[in-house]
Amino acid sequence: MCTVTYLPAGPTGYILTHSRDEKAIRPAAQPPRTVTIGGATITFPEDPPGQGTWIASGIRDDESPVTVCLLNGAFTAHRPEPPYRHSRGLIPLQVFTYPTLNAFISTYDLAGLEPFTLLIAEEGKLTELRWNGSRLFVDEKGPDQPHIWSSATLYKPEIVRQREGWFQEWCQQYPDYSVEAIRNFHQVGGHGDAENSLRMNRQNVMLTVSLTSVVPIGDDLTMIYEDFTQSSVYQTAVGYTYATH
Under 8 Å between Cβ of 222 and 34: no
Nearest to 5 by CA among 143, 142, 146, 212: 146
The Cα 35–Cα 47 span in angstroms is 15
Under 8 Å between Cβ of 221 and 58: no
CATH architecture for residues 3-244: 4-Layer Sandwich (3.60)
Q: Is the pLDDT of residue 239 over 70?
A: no
The Cα 3–Cα 130 span in angstroms is 15
pLDDT digits (tens, 9 = 90+) for 147-184: 999 999 999 999 999 999 999 999 999 999 999 999 99
Which phi and psi (to 5°) does residue 155 adopt?
A: -125, 125
The Cα 51–Cα 193 span in angstroms is 32
- pTM here is 0.94
pLDDT digits (tens, 9 = 90+) for 113-150: 999 999 999 989 999 999 999 999 999 999 999 999 99
The size of the chain, in residues, is 245
Grouping H, G, I as helix, E, B as strand and the rest as coil, residue 20 is strand
pLDDT digits (tens, 9 = 90+) for 14-41: 999 999 999 999 999 999 999 998 788 8
Q: Delimit the domains of the chain by residue range.
A: 3-244
